[in-house]
Each structure stands twice: as C-alpha cells, then as structure tokens.
Structure 1
Amino acid sequence: MSHTIRLEINKRTLSIEIGKVAKQADGSALLRYGDTMMFVAATSRKELKEGKDFLPLIVDYRENTYAAGKIPGGFFKREGRPSEREILMARQIDRPIRPLFPEGYFFDTQIVGLLLSADLESEPDTLGVIGASAALYFSDIPFTTPLGAVKVGIVDGAYVVNPTDHELDRSPLNLTVVSNENGIIMIEAGAQEIDEEKVLEALALAHEENLRIIRAQKDLFASLDIRKREFTPKAVDAEKLARIEEAHGPALLEAMQVRGKKASEAALAGVREAVLAEAPEDKPEDRLELKGLFAKLEEKLFRRLVLEKKLRTDGRGFDDIRPITAEVGLLTRTHGSALFTRGETQALATVTLGTFEDAQRLDSLGEESKKRFMLHYNFPPFSVGEVGFLRGPGRREIGHGALA
C-alpha cells in the first residue's frame, strides 16, 4: 500500500508517493513536481561485513534521455557512463545524507535516483535530496532525520522558491539549500555580485519552505507503523580510551604538531603502531577496536588544540600563513602555465585557447548546448605520496573541478 504527501510550492504541486514502486527495496519514493518525475530507492544490507569502520554509502543518479522524449546520441544509442552532471547530482544527494546516519552504522547502503520524466521547467536537482530523505525515512533503515531541499532565485527583485528554468536564467542568484528540522545543513550557490543581506533573506526563506517539507514527512510517518531495524552502536570503552590517552596521549599530541606533511605522518604512524602493538596479531577484532579508540583520541586532542590552544594540527596559529609563491610561464609550449605553491601544497595550471569549433557539445535533456569554458581538475596519486592507477577522472575530481 502506498501513501502520498502533497505540498504546493510556487504554484506547482510537489507529491511524494511512498512504496508505490520497487517493492523489494528497503524504501522508495516516487516524486513529481510539475511534470518532472523522479524515483529514488534506498537499500541497506542487514549483514555487516567484518573489518569495516566506515559507512560504505553508494549514491547513484541517472538522467536517461527518454525522460525528455529523446534518443541518446552516438553510435550505440544508449546511455553509458554517468555524465558530469549526473556525478555532481549524486554528490549533492550524498553530502547532506551521509552525516545523518547513526554513528557506528557500517552496513553497505545504496541510494539510487532515476529521473523518469523531465518537463524542462521544474529542475530535478532538489528532488533527489527529498527523494533520498523519504526513501530512507520511510524504510526500516535506522535513518531518522527527514530533510527538505529547495532552490531560491531572485526574479525581477522578488524571491522565488524553486524557480523555473527560464526564471533562473534571469536570476542573479541560484541557491540550493538543504535543511533538517534543526537548521540548514548544506548550501550550494552560484551568483553574480549580490548583497549579503539578500543572500541571508534567501536562506531564511528556503529554510521555512524546507520545514514544510520536513513536517509533511513527519506527519505521515507518525500515522504509519514503521519499525526501524534494531541497531545499537558499539559503545566506546571509556576505560580503555582513558588508558590509551594516559599512555600515548602526550606522544600523540606532540606528533600532531610536527611540521611538514611527511614528518607529521611518520610521527603519527609511530604512535598508532605503538597503540596497535597492544593487541595480538592473531586478534584482528582487537586491533580494529584499538584503531577506533586511537581515532577517538586523535579527534579529542584535535578539538583541544583548536578550541583551547588556538592551534592547527601542525602547530600553526589560526593567522599563521605558509609561504606562498606563484611562478608563471613554466611550460614552454603551452598557451599559458603557472605553478602555485603554498607550503607543501602545489597546483600546476595550464590554459589552452581554442576556436568556437573546440567548444564541448553537451547532449543534455534539453536543447543541445555547447560549453566554451572547461575546467579540468586532476588529483594524481603521487600528489599525496600514494600509489595508484591513472585512470579517468573520479567523482572527487569532477566535483572539485565544478567548485573551482
């Protein structure tokens, strides 16, 4: 049996239908706003894989061209790897959801968002977050914090919640805001020069609308008999933590303030190995527990450094700036190049100028468009002293390139 939430936002109805599609998923939501429709499913394993000390959350998002009544371009006439926009949308769903799982929940979890219909007026960006919230909240997965998400623009001097695509073209502000009941938890924005007061007013308006979406979810949840699966996070052994702090706390605090990335990593690794040495090699569960306690102690000492001593982890004060240099014309045959260095962080940038023929053709859901400015961000493994294959750009590289 399905249940539906309906809200009026900017003269269009937002509907969230729970449990209509994907009966085998732990939770699902079918959303409609205008004639744009999205489906989101949430599934989480009930068996815990041993040795994991993090939340293995996968968020996938797809915009198939059939949603806009189009056939994909290219020889195969079929969608392949996710586009840059799909990756950015998946990251936008992931960011507000990930920190709200209960601490210690390390079960494999996947959220899948599919754009099923696109009217090319109601942007689907916020529907993914709302759908993920509903799919998780109305499932037995121990996710108990519903979210709301809206966009805000300014059209002809007036604030507009969830502006249409044409309205956004005329807006100096494109602001996406995600909230839980306690406040705003994520902001993503693009804007022309705009007064700070206007941004603050837009944030307040967005949060008010988000609270309506959140209350609607909570009202429906209260009327349903949904039982969350039992999950009790492993309690931190306070006695063991205190014993580790007494034995290794001073050395760890000293190691955290060592200057130089490699020297600091070596000092921290030395303390970590000293802590792990207290557990026998043939007892991996004990070593995993000590690893978690070490992380807890590191977090505790880090907070103490920042809040009490007003120091960063390498011993610098908040206003201590590492040496900065910028060198231009480093590469001989590029159109432009620069090497930027701040402490041990370096960025090598190049620029290439082309003709209109070099613009990137975007095979999107709407009218075919072209991209004339392309910023590609690469994060090779050697930049952090690691070993890895040089393959295509990952989600992080695409996300950072979009932010830059």
Structure 2
Amino acid sequence: MFNTKTVSMEWGGKTLTLETGRIARQADGAVLATYGETVVLCAVTAARTVKEGQDFFPLTVHYQEKFSAAGRIPGGFFKRERGATEKETLTSRLIDRPIRPLFPSGFYNEINVIAQVLSYDGETEPDIVAMIAASAALTISGVPFMGPIGACRVGYVDGDYTLNPAQQAAADGDLDLIVAATGNAVMMVESEAKELDEDIMLGAVMFAHDEIGKVVNLIIDLAEQAAKDPWELSPVEDKSATLDELRGIIGDDLAAAYRLTDKQQRQDAVNAARTKARDHYASLNAADPAEYMGRLKLVKSLESDIVRKAILKDGKRIDGRTTTQVRPIEAIVGLLPRTHGSSLFTRGETQAICTTTLGTKESEQMIDGLEGLTYSNFMLHYNFPPYSVGEVGRFGAPSRRDIGHGKLAWRALRAVLPTKEEFPYTIRVLSDITESNGSSSMATVCGGCLSMMDAGVPIARPVSGIAMGLILEGDDFTVLSDILGDEDHLGDMDFKVAGTEKGITSLQMDIKVAGITREIMSQALSQAKEGRAHILGEMTKALGSARTELSDYAPRIETMQIDKAKIRDIIGTGGKVIREIVAETGAKVDIDDEGLIKISSSDISQIEAARKWISGIVEEAEVGKIYNGKVVNIVDFGAFVNFMGGKDGLVHVSEMKNERVEKPTDVVSEGQEVKVKVLEIDPRGKVRLSMRVVDQETGEELEDTRPPREPREPREPRGDRNDRGDRGGDRRPRRDGDRSGGGGRGGNRDRGPRQDRNDRPAGGDPEHMPAFLKNDED
C-alpha cells in the first residue's frame, strides 16, 4: 500500500532517519525525520501558477510544537495549541533564513513549508530535526530548490566541540551555536556564547560544516530514491541590453544619488531617478504593460550594480566612509526621569531608546513548552515602529522580525548578567527604535547594555554589537563594517557580532548568495572585533560601569536564608502567617524550597519590618535578653505577650511591677506595646517573661529590688516502708473467710496471715489484677 523510502545513519551518537512515502502523500514533498526519539513531520506544497502582478517570492514557513509530543496537555483555558509561541516563531525563522536564498531569482510561485513536532524525547532539540526535514522535503518535492542544506548544533565544553549536545548540556556549556549549510558553503549561523574568542567561534562553524556534509549526503540518498520530477522553468530572458539602455537613461542620476550621505536626501534623489525612468517608458505602458513593468523592475538591479561596483573597485561606500569605519556615535544615559534605567544610543542614522525595569520574582515570565513550565527572569523586547524609517505602515503586535531581533540582543546580553543570588531581580529591557538606517538590533545591544548599567544591574562587562556586510563578485569580495540599510539590502551578507572586550557573546549570519568561505568569515570576525572595541570606547564615555545605587523608583529586594525546617513556620497553616506578614508590612515575601527568602518593596522600612518579623519566627529566644512585644491576651493570672514576631510568652501578674498588682488589667491592655525580659524557657518551650525588671520607656534593664524568695526547708526523708512500727489498732492475723475485726481499720477483721510485700511477685499477682493492668501475654 505504501511506497515508503527510508535512509538513516549514525550521527552524533544517535540514529538520524529520514522517511517519505507513508505520511502526507498528497503534499508535493513530505519527510518524517527521526533523531533519537524526537520526530518531526515536514510537508511542502507549492502553487503551480503565479498570481498576476506577483513580483516577490511568497515563501512561508510554519513550525509548530504539539504538546502531545511530550505527553503534556497545554495550559490555559483553551487546552489546545493556538498562536505561535516565541520559540515557534524563532524556529520558523531558523528554517526560512537558509532556504530562501536557494530559490532561483524570478521564481514567484507560492510555497508553504509546515513542520510539526510529533514526538519529543526531552534531550534532542526539535529545531535541528525540523530544519533537516524541511530541506529533505523541498529536495524531493521537485520545486526549483538549489539545496539540499543540512543543520546541526555545536556546543563547547572543556576546550572541545560537541555535536548536537542535549538541551541541558548546551545550556551548561560555553556555546550554543546553530549552523545551516550546503555541502559547499555556510548559509546561516545563530549562536549564544560565553565570551569566546574569534578563533573558537570560527572553529565551531567549520566543525559544524564538516558534520553537515554527512546530512547533505543522506538527503541526496533519499532524493535518489524518492525525488519527484523537477519543475520545468521558463528560460531566463537576457535583459543585459535593456539594463544598458536603462543605465544610459538614469545611471548618472543613481550614481549621484548614492553619493549623498544623508538618507532622506538619498532616497529623494533615487525616487526622482525612478520617476524619470517611468516617464521615459510611459508610452510603453499603454502598448505592453507587462514589458513596461519588467523594465522598471530592472531599476533595482541597476542600483545594486552601481553601488556594488563602486565599493569593489573604488572602495567608495554610499556615505563616503572607508570599509572599516564606524559611523559617529552618541550615547546618553539617564534619559528618562521615572524609569529604573534608560539610555539613548545613536549611531549615524540608527537610534534606539532603551529602558530597563526591575521587578520581583512574581514578574518573571512563565513559559509553557514541550520542556514543561519554566520561568525566565530576563526579558528583552524590541519594537520597530514604521516612523523609524519614515514610512506609513502597520503598528501593533510584534512581527516575526521584531521577535527575532529582540532574541538576538537577548542572547548578546544574557552572558554578562549576574546570577539570581547576586542580583535577585527580574529584568526587562525594552528597545524602541526611533530611527533606522543600519542594524537596529546591534543598537539595541548597545543601548540595552547602557540602560541596564544605568539601572544598577551589576553586569560582568559592557557589551557592544556591530553589523558587517559583504560585497561578493566571483572571487573578489569586500567586507564592510557598520553597514547602512542600503548596503544591507544591496549586499550579500548580514553578519552581526556582539561581545565584550573579553570575547563574543552572540553571532548571527545570514547569506543572500550560495554561501561564504572560511576566508570571508575570518576577515569579517577580525574586522568586527575592531569595530566592537571602538563602539565600547564610545559607550564608556557615557557610563563605564554599572551604578552602585538603584533608582529611587525601583523596588528593593533583600534576601535571607533560613533553615528549611522553619519554612512551614513562615508560611503557616494555609499560608496564614506569610499573608499576615505581607498585609501588615506592605512588603512582598517569596520563599523557595531551599529556605531562601526574598523580601521586596520600594520602601526600605517595609522590608526591615518584614525581615524583623521573619527573624522573630525563626530565631530562638535568649534567656536574659530584652525584647519589644505586644500584649495579645490578658488572663486572671497575667498577660500573654507576643515578641520576636512569632513567639508568645507569659508575664505573670507578679512580674508586671515590683509592688503588688491586684489585676493584670490595672497595668496592661490588649494591643499595648511593652518591653519584656526573658526569664526562663522550660523544656517544653514555654517562655516566662518579666516587665518589672525593664524600664518601659528606655528599654534598659533595671536592678531587681525585690528580695529573692527564701528557699523552702527540705523535707525529712521518709522512712523505710517496711519498718513503719505500730500503725495502731489491735490487728489480728488474717485468715481466710474471716473479714471481721481489723483493729485500727474499724471493725474486727480476721483475714488470716498477711503476705510480706517484699515476697510478692513483681507486678502483683496476675490472677487478682484488674484486666487493664495485666500484661499483654495474659
């Protein structure tokens, strides 16, 4: 029934299997990829026709995680998978970025790639499996895909690279790097690192490329068995003559426009050249609209040709800079008065307002995914409003691009954050891009770092970021530092590097051509290092290190460690005690399973009140020490006083004053604040207190003027019970059956001879004992 084709290999200590022909047979290409016990199904469908007027490539990639894959039911009200999570969005971008450049220019058929996680083993991350499955599905579908690509994850532990480390191993190591590549060149890099140097990062990319070659060969083996016939494409029309004609019409105008350093002036001049071309071909529009549109599309090709040749041949960039020069930088901190930390970072015509907000544990982000429920205490959110590029556009929910750029900056900054023990705050960085002409994500890294330092977050070292570009023509190439928006659009690479003076914390690379070589990557990394150092120097002029004091508007958090055995005392029955502490003091109190307590408030006095209350519960009272207390209950013989927050003791009426007190209510009333001294703590934990030996105004101990009690006369020891002498009365020997007499007992009982008590068996005579006194054996 099924024409199933399967290929497999051992890779990184697990078996990688690709299967097609059994599932989703109506898709153009469908592959079930299994690695370990993680299974991903990817299906590809493509439209056979192009919509009229279509002038772009409509590729859409959707990655979805099924909660059933991990044996879980989704949380929340609806109990089903709904909109894409942040992780699903980021993984969709991971798949899209390396495959998009591998479709031919001018191919505008709509393609849909859907990858779904069907099984998750808790160790093998499904993102790599999804990328491989998508590449294999495209390769066998017959669409004009110039792949295949492979992908892998690389870790770095104790000086060695590891292939596809488990999730926890990758988190504990110094590197989490994802690479996608063809058999010949690297297409995409995404990474997070703990300040590694350029040689280690480059070595990791090359290690990944070597391993990816094995995956590419496996996909080729599958395609040889199951690939569909390739689509027939229309031959590419030679438009060189039309391009030369267009060059003669507006070539000089475009060249002059791209020599203008101001972005708005440059855009106005480019638009004027485009209008000139439209006016020139206006008569063609009526006769052959398709030809008219085709010629106007060549304007973009002419712009790219002019800019690229100027850079490659003359070393002239659009704004007149050298290939290694960074645009002017201005950094300001403390921009906003009421935020916990803020900065304005401007590099050329790229600008970001970044703010940092500090919160308590309850502000942590809750993440519900295949791995279960997790919490994150560091968030970075990036917003790109349309006015930042002088356009009218959609303004609302974050786009996939916004989420991706924010995550890149998040990775860059996370490596230098303090631990929760060092800085027990939840941190949120918000980046609002107000101008954009170049890498706004790297401006977010720089501005976000400054805003955190302004907020007093004790980061290890400042982080800066820079975006590199590439112009590649055959074997000739030029690497550009701090690229403009036009250089990004017309160039061949977007290579972003962030890090400290010690090393790289994040690296991201996207390629628009069929990959780059080790030589190009090495030069880009070296050039980026120089640029990062320059930017760090400019940032230091604004603020060189984190402030030592938090903003007056930021919450204060203090921690205290208690014995785990005392946790129940702090929480109380049903949470009664901890709720009372929060309600009475106004501070927020969090306690974990290890006994670590976090007390937070913007008011230091509230924190101190909660701390004293908790200390009173967990600390033991000391005999002879004086405490502040409150009368909580009055009884006939004294008053119970609560002290140390969670302990009660009795002040006997005789310990209220040196003189005689008739009634406790003559001296104290409920709710009254008093000062007491601990006189005694009995073995059962009951505390005896005194007010009379403490000055109730100053709290100083007074001399005890009451004469001490005279010790009682010791009692005479009792004699031997067997030598009691005459007990009185005329006692007769007892005899059986005669109960009369009794001498001094009243009555003349005759019970016969009495047995000596010392001759009785231990425990008495079982036959004459009551039932409840008998031994169990009896």
- Per the TM superposition, whether the score is higher than 0.5 is yes
State which of 240, 265, 268 in structure 2 corresponds to 1:266: 268
* Match runs of 1:64-213 below 5 Å: 64-213=66-215
Q: Secondary structure in 2 aligned to 1:193? A: strand
Q: One-letter code of the match for 1:302? A: V
* Closer, same or farther: CA 306–354 of 1 in aligned 2, 3 Å: same
Distance 2:337 2:198 in 1: 43
1:42-57 maps to which residues of 2 (within 5 A)? Answer: 42-57=44-59
Within the alignment, does 1:37 sit opposite 2:42 as a pair?
A: no
Q: Quick check: 91-100 or 164-173, which moved more?
A: 164-173
CA distance in 2, matches of 1:166, 1:329: 38
Q: Is structure 2 residue 356 aligned with structure 1 residue 351?
A: yes
Q: Quick one: which amino acid aligns to residue 204 of structure 2?
A: A
1:16-75 CA distance string (max 9 Å, x none):
112322122111111111110001111110011122222111011111211111111111
Query: Residue type of the partner of 2:388?
Result: S
Q: Which of residues 382, 385, 388 in structure 2 aligns to 1:383?
A: 388
Asked whether the 8 Å contact 2:128–2:152 carries over to 1, the reply is yes
**Structure 1 residue 81: deviation in Å?**
1.1
Counterpart secondary structure, 2:16: strand
Q: Which has the larger radius of gyration?
A: 2
CA contact (8 A) 1:104 1:233 kept: no
Partners of 1:225 and 1:341 in 2: CA distance: 51
Aligned length: 404
% identical equivalent positions: 43
Equivalent-residue separation in structure 2 for 1:248 and 1:218 (angstroms): 46
Displacement of 1:298 in angstroms is 1.0
Q: Helix, strand or coil for the counterpart of 1:7?
A: strand
SS in structure 2 at match of 1:301: helix
Deviation at 1:107, TM superposition (A): 0.7
CA contact (8 A) 1:9 1:162 kept: no
User: Partner of 2:251: helix, strand, or coil?
Assistant: helix
Question: Does residue 1:363 correspond to 2:368, yes or no?
Answer: yes
User: What is the match of residue 301 of structure 1?
Assistant: 306
Q: Which amino acid aligns with 1:95?
A: R
CA 1:356–1:13 in 2, change beyond 3 Å: closer, same or farther?
same
Q: Which moved more, 1:188-197 or 1:339-348?
A: 188-197
Task: Specify the code of the residue in structure 2 equivalent to 1:340.
Answer: F
Q: Where does structure 1 lack aligned partners over 5 or more consecutive residues?
A: none
Contact 1:39 1:115 survives alignment (8 Å): yes
Tell me the CA shift for residue 320 of structure 1: 4.3
Q: TM-score, normalised by structure 1?
A: 0.96
Q: How does 1:206-285 map to 2 (within 5 A)?
A: 206-224=208-226, 226-232=228-234, 234-280=236-282, 281-282=285-286, 283-285=288-290
1:348-373 CA distances to partner (integer Å, 9 max, x unpaired)?
Answer: 11111100110001111113111111
How many angstroms apart in 1 are the aligned matches of 2:186 and 2:294? 34
Q: Which amino acid aligns with 2:231?
A: R
Per-residue deviation, residues 163-215 of structure 1 (Å, max 9, x unmatched): 11232133211111111011221111111133443333332322121111111
CA distance in 1, matches of 2:391, 2:244: 33
The equivalent residue for 1:292 is 297
Preserved contact between residue 337 and residue 351 of structure 1 (Cα < 8 Å): yes
Moved over 4 A (4+): none
User: Quick check: 2:5–2:226 contact (8 Å CA) kept in 1?
Assistant: no
Q: Which moved more, 1:222-231 or 1:307-316?
A: 222-231
Alpha-carbon distance, 1:224 to partner? 4.7
Mapped contact 1:257–1:313 kept (Cα < 8 A): yes
Q: Which residue of 2 aligns with 1:312?
A: 317
TM-score (norm 2): 0.51
- Which of 5, 13, 16 does residue 14 from structure 1 map onto? 16
* 2:397 maps to 1:399: no
Aligned residue number for residue 323 of structure 1:
328
Q: CA RMSD in A?
A: 1.6
What code does the residue aligned with 1:237 have?
A: K
